[in-house]
């Protein structure tokens, strides 16, 4: 019981880092080198993600690790898409675009990298979830 609790907790932490990686992929910071700086930043956030996923898989006594890992990846990308749509709506609001205090939202403009990263993580999560749900075909000789 305690083991499952900590396993689920680690999966939740991993989902948070999935969300952070996908969200950081949308940010374009001029002080970072365009490609290597962002890649190093995303790699740095991937390390805790991998650690928490591994700990979650190690501790959680679920039926299939593919389903829980796929659910974690899909949940993180789903939350990320909700926040991204919210940011885009805020940027498109004419009343807010006239204000000076939304300068931090101006760095949220690397849509290509963000959507590619989010799509790849979501596809990986969907593939894991699907592979965990579909039983492996056994020989028809049985």
Residue extents of the structural domains in the chain: 2-133
Q: Quick one: CA dihedral 80, 83, 88, 91, positive or negative? A: negative
**C-alpha span between 19 and 119 (Å, rounded):** 12
Can you give the pLDDT at residue 100? 60
pTM: 0.83
pLDDT tens-place values along the chain, 142 residues long? 888 899 999 999 999 999 999 999 988 876 666 667 778 888 899 999 999 999 999 999 877 889 999 999 999 999 999 999 988 888 787 776 666 666 666 678 888 889 999 999 999 999 999 998 877 665 544 4
Phi, psi of 63 (to 5 degrees): -70, -40
Residue 58: CB atoms within 10 A of its CB come to 12
């Amino acid at each position: 019981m305690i083991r499952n609790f900590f396993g689920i907790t680690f999966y939740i932490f991993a989902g948070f880092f999935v969300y952070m990686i996908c969200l950081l992929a949308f940010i374009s910071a001029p002080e970072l080198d365009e490609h290597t700086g962002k890649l190093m930043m995303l790699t740095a956030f991937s390390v805790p993600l991998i650690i928490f996923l591994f700990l979650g898989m190690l501790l959680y006594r679920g039926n299939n690790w593919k389903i829980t890992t796929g659910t974690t990846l899909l949940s993180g990308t789903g939350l990320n898409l909700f926040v991204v749509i919210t940011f885009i709506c805020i940027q498109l609001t004419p009343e807010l675009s006239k204000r000076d205090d939304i300068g931090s939202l101006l760095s949220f403009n690397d849509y290509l990298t963000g959507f590619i990263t989010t799509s790849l993580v979501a596809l990986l999560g969907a593939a894991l979830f699907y592979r965990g749900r579909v039983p492996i075909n056994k020989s028809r000789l049985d």
